[in-house]
Amino acid sequence: MKAFHEVRNYDSDYMVWHSRYDNIGFLAHWHKEIELIYVRSGSCLLSVTDQTFLARAGDLAVCESGMIHYSDSHGMDNSLDFIIFDTSILGPIFQNPGFVHPLVTKEELETHGLSDRLTNLIDTVSRELEQKKPFYQEVVTSSIQTFWALLKRCHPRTDAEQLPDGRRSRMLGDLQDLLSYIDEHYADNITLEYAASRMNFSNSHFSRTFKKLMGIHFVTYLNLVRVEQAASQLRNTGKKITDVALSCGFNNIRTFNRVFKDITGYTPSEFLLLADPDVYKRTYYNRRSTEKEYVEHDSLTLVKNHQ
């Protein structure tokens, strides 16, 4: 289920991407690239790893490599710019540990003379990637490197010598491994107890940690993965509903029907009659709100937040 371990498709082997959206949120996900989120207007509620905060117009959120992040900003008007780039773009200036806090406020950017530099960076990346004039990659790379170096100069970074013992990074790695395991073994009997044991957590501690990092409960996440797989099989394989249910980890048809409708808004039989072949991609947000839908032609993590 790539919505949670996001593997972005780029136009070429040059791994830099930019886009701007109005009134969106996104599912909990992670990727190896660095993601910059600039709040052009309005506000949005963001969670990066275990830090949740409100970002307002003029603020910048930095999601460093491997960090789980999501936004549930339903009811908030916003216009957001996203720049996502591979860590190799930074060359030798990329290094861990990362920033102490992912939020760089408008006031901090202005104090250090970075507000105009940030909007110029966004305009440059957008223009160069669209026009692709000679040496556009060099222009984009140098622009990103310069801004990143200046940001490192002024925004507090974690002192490697003061890091406790790596438990936090190991925990995130274990969670990423668990998500990958679920993607591959969703048909197995994956209990909360089993998931907690994979991370060496008690059941209660695992439940709290998973909800804090992912924004949803473990059982809900597991059902989302299974229902998305089931919807795909119903649409594309011609299997019987009972066979699909069993192949996606549901023990009986009654439970399958109930969970499928709770998430998608349709019974499996009703779903098969729908005209939209990609409706299953909207399952999470049909469950959360019938007013939400996925952003057209983009990552499954992005959704429109209608008022």
Tens digit of pLDDT for each residue in 125-143?
Answer: 999 999 999 999 999 999 9
Same structural domain, 180 and 56: no
Same structural domain, 239 and 147: no
Place 65 in a pLDDT band, splitting at 50, 70 and 90. confident
- The more confident residue out of 37 and 266 is 37
- The more confident residue out of 193 and 30 is 193
Same structural domain, 152 and 171: no
pLDDT digit string, tens, across residues 249-264: 999 999 999 999 888 8
Mean pLDDT of the chain: 83
Same structural domain, 109 and 222: no
Helices (H), the chain: 106-111, 115-131, 136-154, 167-185, 192-198, 203-214, 218-236, 241-247, 253-264, 268-272, 283-288
Same structural domain, 247 and 264: yes
**Per-residue pLDDT at 9:** 58
- Are the C-beta atoms of residues 82 and 36 closer than 8 Å to each other? yes
Same structural domain, 24 and 128: yes
10 located within any domain: no
Cα–chain center distance at 48: 10
302 located within any domain: no
pLDDT value at 280 more than 50: no
Lowest mean pLDDT among 68-72, 145-149, 185-189: 68-72
4 located within any domain: no
199 located within any domain: yes
294 located within any domain: no
95 located within any domain: yes
Same structural domain, 181 and 152: no
pLDDT value at 282 more than 70: no
CATH assignment at residue 53? 2.60.120.280
pLDDT value at 275 more than 90: no
**Per-residue pLDDT at 218:** 92
243 located within any domain: yes
Domain count, the chain: 2
Lowest mean pLDDT among 43-52, 231-240, 285-294: 285-294
Range of the domain at 197: 167-289
**Per-residue pLDDT at 99:** 86
Distances (CA, A) of 181 to 4, 154, 250: 12, 39, 17
- Determine the residue type at 44: C
What percentage of residues in the chain have a pLDDT greater than 70? 81
Same structural domain, 22 and 118: yes
